[in-house]
Structure 1
Amino acid sequence: MSRFNSKAARAQPTSRVTSTGRVLRTYEGGRGRERDARSELFLLAVANFVSQQTFYESGADRDDRFAKLVRRLAVEDPAWTAGLLGWLRGEGNLRTASLVGAAEYVKARLDAGATDGPANRQVVASVLRRPDEPGELLAYWTATYGRSVPKPVKRGIADAVRRLYHGKSLLKYDTASKGYRFGDILNLVHAAPDPDKPWQGELFQYALDRRHHPDTAVPPASNRVLTAHRELMALPVDERRAVVTASGGAERLAAAGMTWEALAGWLQGPMDKAAWEAVIPSMGTMALVRNLRNFDQAGVSDEVAARVAAKISDPAEVARSRQFPFRYLAAYQHAPSLRWSYPLEQALGHSLANVPALPGRTLVLVDRSGSMFYSRLSDRSELNRADAAAIFGTALALRAADADLVEFGTGSNKIKYRRGQSVLKILGRFGDLGGTDTTEAVRRHYKKHDRVLIVTDEQYAFSHHGDPTEQVPANVPVYTWNLAGHRAGHGPSGKANRHTFGGLSDAAFRMVPLLEAARDADWPWAA
């Protein structure tokens, strides 16, 4: 008799986020499952806004837990850790965690005398993707470990400087508010100009002169952006607003690399209608999104507003901005004019392009308990985890072939929606449901679905029925997205169709079809 090799035999999917088998208590006292070190670091990294207070842990406690895990795995598993850090800054688009992680990676390996795995210099360079980030990493290193900066850190930063420094970046990021100016960084790391960029030597010298001799520093004549900017700065204050209102003023501001932030200071007066309309053509997509309220308050014309709307809703621009969907939700909630509603809805739809269109029947459970409302995504964001969870859960339901969308807390309710409805409009049907009883929500709403997806902070209340995942047959996949990054989860992960992912990144969502194709889902940077 054949026991295993039958027509029904299928490979058992696994996820890389795994539990150790040890039972812990969650912050709220519920039973939780401890995760292994790599899973713990992955979940913490993608959900953690460094230095930010959370409902369950102080920013310092989370940062310390993150740093310790990086230091441990940098020595035990350097290739995996280097891959995580590069992915965090690249596809994950999480800059602060990746910068801190790279510094801790190098420190741990230097202390341990480790020489295997990816080079320290390479790891540092891999997380520096924006011109202000060399200074950010240096500031973190010196604040944490003192002014003695090791050679691998200097060399990695020098590699990034050659790649990132140009005229516009100097104007935008080399400001007096920074502890490390471009000139300070060049002095410290001794970056030589890139041989393929013959203009970079003069740029580096100008950056040094700006830092040490600002009154006499003269930009290189070969750099049109810097010379155009110097000409604007030399204009008397009472003549500057005429530049804004003149024909060709927008082009002149753009040629001089004038950002909207710099324009406000240059004018030494209010950002009125003319000022905004002159600088809008050169503003980036997310700068436009952040300033919609300002455009309305200044009375920007409908013609200009139409160009703004077209840009912020353009699929290519949304893809280039690499922003999480909650940015568009926050803009929608705070923009005063209805003329931005539909463009933001379109942008939100484009930003969710990687959410899988799941076949069969899907149960989507969105946590709307009190802890989700108490916890903002960061100290710099007004958007809470409850709304972030709702927007992702709604998108999953709308993309699925057949889905039940449920909000839960102390109790639970089905959210009514129609295919093709606005994601943002559906959000208005979600409420605040008090405590957390994930187990009861699963028990009440699971009706032979093909999969269960839970978006939560995993702080379920104790139930005599067991953890939430035990309410679903073992052959049915349960996927949990943890928004909080707390140590103990509400169920096991990594085998037997139970999978936990951190945060709400597209990379995590893409694991679902991989798992259901009976393939092992690797870490996102190895897939």
Structure 2
Amino acid sequence: MKFNLLNKERITTVNHAKAKAFTMSPGEELYTAVVTTGISDSFYEKENSRLIRIKELVAVCDPEFVAKLAAYARNEMNLRSVPMVLTVELAKMISGSSIVSKTVTNVVKRADEITELLAYYQLANERKEIKKLNRLSKQIQKGLAKSFNTFDEYQFAKYNRNTEVKLKDALFLVHPKAKDESQQAIFNKIVTNTLAIPYTWETELSILGTLKFENNNARKSAFTQKWEELIESKKVGYMALMRNLRNILEANVSAQHIAMVCDYLANEKAVENSKQLPFRFLAAYREIKRTNSQFTPNLLDALEEAVTISARNIRGFDYNTSVVIACDVSGSMQKPVSAKSSVLLYDIGLMLGMLMQSRCQNVISGMFGDTWKTIHMSRRNILANVEEYYKREGEVGYATNGHLVLDDLIAKNQIVDKVMLFTDVQMWNSTSLFGSFSRSWKKYKKIAPEAKLYLFDLAGYGHQPIDIRQDDVYLLAGWSDKIFDVLNALENKETALDTINKIGL
């Protein structure tokens, strides 16, 4: 499946900054749109228009590619909502194909994703009658029936919520066949709404919050004791622990318990199993920095160690490979990745850039806006480096003059092996009608014919500032450190789509 990747008659267009750009093939555009969305507003594109564009692209892409992309987005990029969209839109396109049921089992990894997929199904099919989920796709039904067989009572109970599509509704609709008597008993409990309430750390804190205490000191003491018990029990998962670090500090737990938290955060196996998106560490780091506790430095160090561990599997480059890492800090990058997040596209670019820098032995890093500025940073302390960049972003302005990164190399006659830009790829020249990113790269290739350019697309708007698949230009997209696995594939002459097409269904 080529998806027109080798079509030399690429259509030129203009990007959101009104500068010349190049269109992508449907497969490329769908890939970049999917792995850079949380189904939320972007700077240039509202949530509904992004969803509409994804649906339109699914309709013109190869169904097997769409299925593999859904699996890639869920299992490699750790995205949850957009794989459901791809699955349902795929079912509308090829409703009778077994590819659909295989896709369902590839993307439903949590019990609540059964109901989430059905909720989107009724939305996508514009069901407004009383029985909104009538005439369910047989292949979606088949895939969900298999999914029901993969969860235990605890998992069902944990996600048995009072949503529009309830777990009981899904059970009646899908009619899964129980594997054995014990599972049939679980299905019966779903029907009668008698699933055992999971006794989790959340319920323990919730129960404590409803109790009355003699005074505020007694209340604080109770929460301190409860958090210490939870830390000792190891009931709190990795992501939940990161999100509650501030609560733990404010509960005034002992130094011994802080040490236990730090040990867990920096535990190699725990970090690897957590599959956290890199910016989650950054969000926790920032939250902790705002606390006034003698243990704040301990937790900051633990988070730095955790990020360092998470970067160990990233294949970097040795002293013989010179790399330029340029982070886009333009105005359009300063947009939250979702409505509920304080993390910006700008943060993701800096985070991925600093992760890559930590793995390179011969590296120049910096940021660009109106101007390009190199900033020398230690390859250690990844999170602190991101914060330093964050404080200095105003030093280069807010345009997207990515060509200046290349022009600086040309002016210095500096030969490097790889140029990496972490950006929303809405390049333009804010100072002149002449000159462009594409033109600067062609000029640089004359003095550095072996150089390679990597564009890390963090927004997925569907434009490129330069025609890829020629002049050693490569496109990558996404917010996860898994994006560097694609980088490694590119080093072996594969495209991002080649990597996705290798996924088994």
Instruction: State the TM-score, normalizing by the size of structure 2.
Output: 0.85
2:109 corresponds in structure 1 to 129
1:346 corresponds in structure 2 to 305
- 8 Å CA contact retained: 2:417, 2:450: no
1:300 corresponds in structure 2 to 253
Q: CA deviation at 1:109?
A: 1.5
Sort the Cα spacing of 1:17 and 1:65 in 2 relative to 1 into closer, same or farther, 3 A: farther
- 8 Å CA contact retained: 1:18, 1:495: no
Tell whether 2:275 aligns with 1:319. Answer: no
Q: CA deviation at 1:355?
A: 2.5
Structure 1 residues 57-456: aligned runs within 5 Å: 57-73=45-61, 77-110=62-95, 115=97, 118-145=98-125, 146=127, 147=132, 148=134, 149-164=136-151, 166-176=152-162, 178-195=163-180, 198-210=181-193, 217=194, 226=196, 257-267=198-208, 268-269=210-211, 272-280=223-231, 281-335=234-288, 336=291, 337-359=296-318, 360-373=321-334, 375-419=335-379, 421-430=380-389, 431-432=392-393, 433-445=397-409, 447-456=414-423
- 8 Å CA contact retained: 2:352, 2:481: no
CA–CA separation in structure 2 for the residues paired with 1:340 and 1:88: 31
- 8 Å CA contact retained: 2:35, 2:73: yes
Q: Secondary structure at the match of 1:56?
A: coil
Tell whether 2:466 aligns with 1:491. Answer: yes
1:44 corresponds in structure 2 to 33
Q: 2:205 is matched by which residue type in structure 1?
A: A
Q: 1:70 is matched by which residue type in structure 2?
A: V
- 8 Å CA contact retained: 1:19, 1:36: no
Q: CA deviation at 1:452?
A: 0.6
- 8 Å CA contact retained: 2:77, 2:478: no
Q: CA deviation at 1:517?
A: 4.2
Q: CA deviation at 1:489?
A: 1.4
Q: CA deviation at 1:264?
A: 3.3
CA–CA separation in structure 2 for the residues paired with 1:502 and 1:377: 14
Q: CA deviation at 1:428?
A: 3.4
Q: Secondary structure at the match of 1:365?
A: strand
- 8 Å CA contact retained: 2:476, 2:487: no
1:213 corresponds in structure 2 to none
- 8 Å CA contact retained: 1:385, 1:483: yes
CA–CA separation in structure 1 for the residues paired with 2:200 and 2:356: 37
CA–CA separation in structure 1 for the residues paired with 2:8 and 2:50: 19
Q: How many residues align?
A: 457
1:326-365 Cα offsets, whole Å, 9 max, x none, are: 1001100111222210111111112223322124111111
> Which of structure 1's runs of 4+ aligned residues deviate more than 4 A?
15-20, 517-521
Pick aligned residue for 2:44 from 56, 64, 74? 56
CA–CA separation in structure 2 for the residues paired with 1:19 and 1:489: 15
1:72-120 Cα offsets, whole Å, 9 max, x none, are: 32xxx2222211111211122111110111011001223xxx65xx532
1:467 corresponds in structure 2 to 437
Q: 2:502 is matched by which residue type in structure 1?
A: A
1:431-467 Cα offsets, whole Å, 9 max, x none, are: 2232121112221146210111110011222352222
Q: CA deviation at 1:20?
A: 5.8
CA–CA separation in structure 1 for the residues paired with 2:256 and 2:485: 39
- 8 Å CA contact retained: 1:410, 1:434: yes
- 8 Å CA contact retained: 1:19, 1:493: no
CA–CA separation in structure 1 for the residues paired with 2:495 and 2:243: 40
Q: 2:406 is matched by which residue type in structure 1?
A: V
Q: Secondary structure at the match of 1:272?
A: helix
Q: 1:266 is matched by which residue type in structure 2?
A: I
Q: Over aligned residue pairs, what C-alpha RMSD do you find? A: 2.3
- 8 Å CA contact retained: 1:367, 1:455: yes
CA–CA separation in structure 1 for the residues paired with 2:59 and 2:285: 40
Identity %: 25
Q: Secondary structure at the match of 1:510?
A: helix
1:466-524 Cα offsets, whole Å, 9 max, x none, are: 22533431531100001111121111112331011112334432233433345666224
Instruction: State the TM-score, normalizing by the size of structure 1.
Output: 0.82
CA–CA separation in structure 2 for the residues paired with 1:400 and 1:17: 31
Sort the Cα spacing of 1:362 and 1:16 in 2 relative to 1 into closer, same or farther, 3 A: farther
